[in-house]
Amino acid sequence: MQALTKRLKKNLMLCIFSSLVSIFNPVWAASDREMQEEALKALEILKHPDHAVHAEAFDKSQEFHGVFYGYLPCKDCDGIKATLSLKGHNNYLLVTQPAKESSREFYEKGKYTWTENARTLVLTARNQSTRHYRIADEGTLVQLNTDGTTMVGDEEGHTLRRGDTVKSRQVHIH
C-alpha cells in the first residue's frame, strides 16, 4: 500500500507540473513567435537597408578633410610654406616654414570645427589660439583674420588648396 501511495503522489505531482507547463506554454510560444518576427524584420532590414534613418546623425565635418598646401604672405620673409592636414576626430596638424635659408618648420596641433552654413573652418590650437578659414569650395581654403573677417589684399595669396585638387604643387615632406 505504501508503494502505491508513493507512486500515486509521484503521478499526481507529474500531472500538476504538466498542467502548469501547459498553462504557461502559450506565453512561451508567443514570445518565440515575437522573436521570429523580430528576426525576420532584422533580416529584411539587412537585405534592404534604409540609411536615411542614421544619415542625419553623421558628423558632416568628417566629409571635409585632407591635406591642404599653400604659400602664405609674410612681412619678414619671402613667404611661408604651409601644410594643413585635417584628420579624423576633428584633429589637425599645421606645419609652417618661413621661406628663408635653413629655416626650421613649426608645428601646431589642435582641433577643428566646420560650420556649414557660414562656410568657415576654425582651427583651435592646444594653446587655445584660433585660426579662421573661409571654405571657398571643396578643395580650397582662404585664410581670414583672427576675428573671422576677410583679409585685405590678394585673396589668392592667402589660399590653401587640397593636394588632390591641384595638378602641380610644391610639397614639403614632414
User: What would the pLDDT profile of 1-32 be if each residue is shown by its tens digit?
Assistant: 677 677 777 877 777 777 766 666 555 555 67
What SS3 class is residue 29? helix
* Highest mean pLDDT pick, 1-10, 67-76, 88-97, 151-160: 88-97
What's the predicted TM-score (pTM) here? Answer: 0.60
Classify residue 16: in a domain, yes or no.
yes
109 and 79 assigned to the same domain: yes
Classify residue 172: in a domain, yes or no.
no
Classify residue 173: in a domain, yes or no.
no
Domain total in the chain: 2
Distance CA 89, CA 161 (A): 21
86 and 39 assigned to the same domain: no
Q: Which region holds residue 73: left if phi is over 0, alpha if psi is between -120 and 50, else beta?
A: beta
Domain of 68, CATH number, reads 2.40.128.640
pLDDT in tens, 126-152: 998 999 999 988 889 999 988 888 887
